[in-house]
Amino acid sequence: MTTTPREVEYGLRWNPNPPLTVASLVTFALAAGVYTVLSWLGVIALPMGIVSVSALFVAIGFGIPFAMWFGGWGLVIGYIGSFIGAGLLAGVPLLIDIPFAFVDWIQFGIPLLAYRLLAQRFGLHPLGRDVYTVKGFLFFLVFGVVLPNGLGALYGISILRAGGLVPPDAFGPAVVGWWVGNMIVSAVIAPILLSTVTPIIERFGLATHGIIT
C-alpha cells in the first residue's frame, strides 16, 4: 500500500495543524457521552458478578476507534467513560475509581501508539482504514485486540482486587473473563467502525493528527 502525504501527517506530535475546531470539540463531547453510557450499560446489563466488570463490554468496541481517530482526546474520553460509567455509576468507591479509570489508557493507548508509530512501516493506514485486509486485521488483532485487552484486564482486576472488590479466588477467572469478553467485542465492532467511519472522520477533518491538536 502506498502511503499518501495526508497519511504521513498522523503521528504523535503535540500540537500539529490543523488547529482544534468547534466541530472537533463537539465530536469529542459526543464520543465521551456515547462511551460513558455504553460503559454504564455494559457493567449493569451484562455483569460478570464483579463490580464494574462486564461479561461483554460493548463500549470497548467504540472506545478503541475513538482513541485511534482522536489521539490523546480518545484517552480523555476513555477516562471519563470508565470513571463515570463503569466506575461511579456502577458503585465503585471514589478512591478506587480514580486509579481504576486509567485502565483505558492501557486499552486505548496501546492501539493508538501502535498505529501512530508502527502501522505505516507495515504499509498500513494509521487510522486503521484497511483493517479488513489480511495484514491489516492481523496487525489489529495483536495491537487492538489481544495485547491491550489482556494488559487492561490484568490492571483493572488488580485495582479492584486491591480495593477489596474481587475475592482472592476470583482473580484469575475475572482477568480471563474480562480479557475474553473484551477481545470478542473489539474484534467484531471496532473493525466495522474503522473500515466504514474512518473515511468519514477524515473527510470532515475530525481526526487528530498528533497526540493533541
User: In 10 A of CB 14, how many CB atoms?
Assistant: 9
What's the pLDDT band for 18 if we cut at 50, 70, 90?
confident
Structural domain of residue 100, as residue ranges? 5-203
Share of residues in the chain with pLDDT > 70 (%): 96
Evaluate whether residue 212 is within a structural domain: no
Evaluate whether residue 210 is within a structural domain: no
Using the predicted structure, report yes or no on whether residue 21 has a pLDDT greater than 80.
Answer: yes
Evaluate whether residue 149 is within a structural domain: yes
Q: Which residues, at least 6 apart from 138, have a Cβ–Cβ distance to it below 8 Å? A: none
Evaluate whether residue 151 is within a structural domain: yes
C-alpha dihedral over 164, 47, 73, 126, to 10 degrees?
120
User: What is the model's pLDDT at position 9?
Assistant: 83
Using the predicted structure, report yes or no on whether residue 2 has a pLDDT greater than 50.
Answer: no
Q: Tens digit of pLDDT for each residue in 124-151?
A: 999 999 999 999 999 999 999 999 999 9
What's the pLDDT band for 195 if we cut at 50, 70, 90?
very high
Give the separation between CA 82 and CA 108, rounded to whole angstroms.
12
Report in angstroms the alpha-carbon separations of 62 from 4, 8, 28, 110, 131: 26, 24, 13, 15, 15
Q: Tens digit of pLDDT for each residue in 37-70?
A: 999 999 999 888 898 999 999 999 999 999 999 9
User: What is the model's pLDDT at position 212?
Assistant: 87
Evaluate whether residue 68 is within a structural domain: yes
User: What is the model's pLDDT at position 210?
Assistant: 92
Return mean pLDDT, the chain.
93
Q: List phi, psi (to 5°) of 47.
A: -75, 160
Question: Which CATH number goes with the domain that contains 32?
Answer: 1.10.1760
6 burial type by CB count under 10 A (0-12 exposed, 13-18 middle, 19+ buried): exposed
Structurally, the chain folds into a number of domains equal to: 1
Does a cis peptide bond (omega within 30 degrees of 0) precede residue 18? Answer: yes
The whole-number average pLDDT for the span 162-189 is 96
Looking at the DSSP bridge assignments, the partners of residue 111 are none
What's the pLDDT band for 123 if we cut at 50, 70, 90?
very high
The whole-number average pLDDT for the span 110-133 is 96
Q: Scanning the structure block, which residue is given the C-alpha cell 458478578?
A: 49
Evaluate whether residue 138 is within a structural domain: yes
